[in-house]
């Protein structure tokens, strides 16, 4: 990667009612970098300037400033790898895939879903097509199921907005242990932040070891890290196979975490049609609950 930088975008800040830190203001401003993570990385690398001076995370924006985004003249290419996964839905703007359990969505490692997307998805024909499609949200390493992908710059911005405004309906299915109420709402805070999940027991299976195994439908209303796992553990019904939040001696062995992102439903930001991606339960679920 060369040290020479080229200017990519420029933005004049309108008058603001309240000052904001650069790291909070910049996400959504540029078309080239749209995620908070990407903006923070650009600031750290010195790629964002304020009135010609290098910007820092702690700098305040009040209005009237010219914010400019730079990038290296030669960018390092991401690795592309082959990971088998099912494509549930795909068009020119977005895709829904079935993420296998036991694979990272993204990160510093080579073997991630993000690095496999370019080899599996069709390149968008839109003018703002991304060279590397981008996951819009995350699923834990041991969790399988529906993962939403953006294929253009504008699609990523709008899909992130749908998530922030809670316009994307997510439904999960888990197998929990112990006697559990038929339905319930859990509002235990996660990382000291308000959190809310709703559950409904679909089926039960008596068990000598676990007292009961429960096939549970879950709807998260907030998106905290490990939220569903923490919430179910907090009411005494941890997810089967949860080594982090489960009960010692009752986590199960060899089959991983029994948590599956069953469906995503939302209004397509470009066609205004309803998109619903449903992914049937993995075999390890149906072995315990054959009629599910």
Distance CA 290, CA 119 (A): 34
Structural domains of the chain in order of their starting residue, each with its CATH number: 5-72 (3.10.290.10), 86-165 (3.30.2350.10), 170-261 (3.30.2350.10)
- Return the structure tokens found at 80: 């592309």
Which pair of tokens denotes residue 9?
């975008």
**Closest C-alpha to 264, from 99, 107, 134, 112:** 99
How many CB atoms sit inside 10 A of residue 63's CB? 13
| φ, ψ for residue 136, nearest 5 deg | -85, -30
Distance, in Å, from the CA atom of 115 to the CA atom of 106, rounded to the nearest integer, reads: 8
Q: What is the pLDDT of residue 130?
A: 87
pTM of this structure? 0.77
Q: How far apart are CA 241 and CA 243, in angstroms?
A: 6
Residue 76 has what pLDDT? 57
**What pLDDT does residue 258 have?**
97
pLDDT digits (tens, 9 = 90+) for 20-31: 999 989 888 887
pLDDT at 224: 92
Please report the pLDDT score of residue 73 as a whole number. 62
Which parts of the chain have pLDDT scores under 70? Answer: 1-3, 34, 73-77
């Amino acid at each position: 990667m060369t040290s020479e930088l080229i200017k990519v975008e420029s933005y004049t800040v309108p008058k603001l009612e309240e000052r904001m830190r650069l790291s909070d203001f910049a996400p959504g401003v540029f078309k080239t970098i749209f995620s908070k993570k990407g903006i923070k990385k650009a600031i750290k690398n010195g790629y964002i300037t304020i009135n010609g001076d290098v910007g820092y995370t702690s700098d305040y924006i009040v209005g009237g400033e010219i914010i400019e985004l730079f990038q290296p003249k030669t960018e390092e290419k991401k690795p592309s790898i082959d990971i088998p996964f099912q494509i549930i839905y795909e068009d020119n703007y977005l895709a829904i895939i079935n993420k296998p359990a036991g694979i990272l969505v993204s990160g510093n490692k080579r073997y991630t879903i993000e690095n496999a997307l370019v080899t599996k998805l069709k390149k968008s024909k839109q003018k703002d097509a991304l060279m590397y499609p981008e996951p819009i949200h995350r699923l834990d390493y041991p969790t399988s199921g529906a993962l939403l992908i953006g294929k253009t710059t504008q699609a990523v911005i709008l899909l992130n907005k749908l998530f922030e405004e809670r316009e994307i309906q997510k439904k999960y299915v888990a197998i929990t242990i112990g006697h559990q109420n038929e339905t319930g709402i859990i509002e235990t805070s996660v990382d000291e932040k308000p959190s809310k999940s709703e559950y409904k027991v679909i089926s039960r299976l008596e068990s000598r070891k676990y007292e009961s195994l429960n096939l549970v439908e879950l709807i998260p209303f907030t998106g905290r890290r490990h939220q569903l796992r923490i919430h179910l553990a907090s009411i005494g019904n941890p997810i089967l196979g949860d080594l982090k939040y489960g009960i010692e001696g009752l986590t199960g062995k060899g089959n991983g975490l029994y948590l599956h992102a069953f469906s995503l439903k939302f209004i397509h930001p470009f066609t205004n049609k309803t998109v619903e991606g449903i992914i049937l339960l993995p075999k390890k679920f149906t072995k315990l609950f054959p009629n599910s």
